[in-house]
Amino acid sequence: MTILIVDDSSTQRLALAALLEDEGYTDLLLAGSAAEALHHFKQNDRPNIDLILMDLHMPLMNGIEACRQIKAVEARRDIPIIMVTSSTETEDLQLAFTAGAMDYITKPPNEVELLARVRSALKLKHETDQRKARERDMQQLNQQLEQVLIDLADKHKMLMHEQEKSERLLLNILPKPVANRLKQSPEIIADHFEAVTVLFADIVGFTTLSAQIGPEELVKLLNDIFSRFDGLADRYGLEKIKTIGDAYMAVAGLPMPRSDHAAAAAEMALGMQREIAAIANGQLQVRIGLHSGPVVAGVIGKKKFSYDLWGDTVNTASRMESHGLAGQIQVTQATYEFLQHTFLFEPRGAISVKGKGELPTYLLMAKQGVAV
């Protein structure tokens, strides 16, 4: 530990130094004036000085003023200063304490008293330094912790954002109830539904139009059409299954069963006719087929999930579309029986369907009570 002895009397300086050296305090700095003492601090704003023994009465600048200037700097305020004085004037001592001195001893100093006060002051300085070091360490740890929390919050925010994106992507592929089941238990999902209505639609004239317009315009047009169809599916509660080229497939009655599945599919089919009429200026028409019955629905694939339907109902609905008429909605007897009292139909008669023979069909014209 370094002790600075400040006294204008060389005899006093050396006497104090000798006493301290005898007790093992060998790291001593000696200054013959207040100005010389302050010079140590001018050389280094944070000098390695642990204790100052300061003469009270010195020429040019006394110990009180020197004490005041030392303590005026934040980095020096913890250095204990013991005033060494021959004065017993209370006023002088009060000024010294006000300036920042922590203690005083009188000249000539008593060796036992001097050493006791020095040990006490150095112990206080050591404890203060340790406390300040702990405070700095705690402050640094708090700053590091705050940064870690900020980083974690940022990463959590990014993770939540990515999770939301993944959730949206999954819901674009799978119905929400099916997606939730798949997240909870990644097993094979296959369900039987006794009564649904399957809708197939194909845009008539699109192939011809695709040869007349650029690829960007073509994709933009198809996206606009299918986006409108998606809106109808949301509006009427159908589940979009897939699109293949310019064909669109949806189903009513799953994954949540509903008794009005045929009516919902019919409403969407009529809506699709209206949307095509509004967007295509007569250049395009939509051919739609509906059939009602049981299906099996499930998720296939591991890397690219697909929610699909299987069964005779799907095949028959597809045949209703492919054997239908441009601009018309063709339905089977099964779907007609669900809708005959609430929608208007025109009988088309029987048509030959591969693997099914002759099937009676009907053209859905409008909902009853709604002007065509």
Catalytic residue among 64, 202, 276, 288: 202
Q: Show the DSSP H helices in the chain as ranges.
A: 10-22, 34-43, 63-71, 90-99, 111-173, 176-184, 206-210, 215-236, 261-280, 312-322, 333-339
**Backbone angles phi and psi of 191, in degrees to 5:** -130, 145
The secondary structure of 170-194 as a DSSP string is: HHHHS-HHHHHHHHH--S--EEEEE
- For this structure, is 27 an active site residue? no
Catalytic residue among 64, 246, 288, 329: 246
Catalytic residue among 203, 225, 288, 329: 203
Kindly give, in sequence order, each residue whose CB lies less than 8 Å from that of residue 160, ignoring residues fewer than 6 positions away.
none
Q: Between vectors from CA 364 to CA 359 and to CA 368, what angle results, nearest 5°? A: 135
Separation of alpha carbons 110 and 5, rounded Å:
16
What element of type H or E holds 354? none
- For this structure, is 49 an active site residue? no
Separation of alpha carbons 70 and 81, rounded Å:
10
Kindly give, in sequence order, each residue whose CB lies less than 8 Å from that of residue 320, ignoring residues fewer than 6 positions away.
200, 289, 290, 291, 330, 331, 332, 361
The rounded Cα 319 to chain-centroid distance in angstroms is 49
- For this structure, is 246 an active site residue? yes
Q: Which residues are catalytic?
A: 202-203, 246
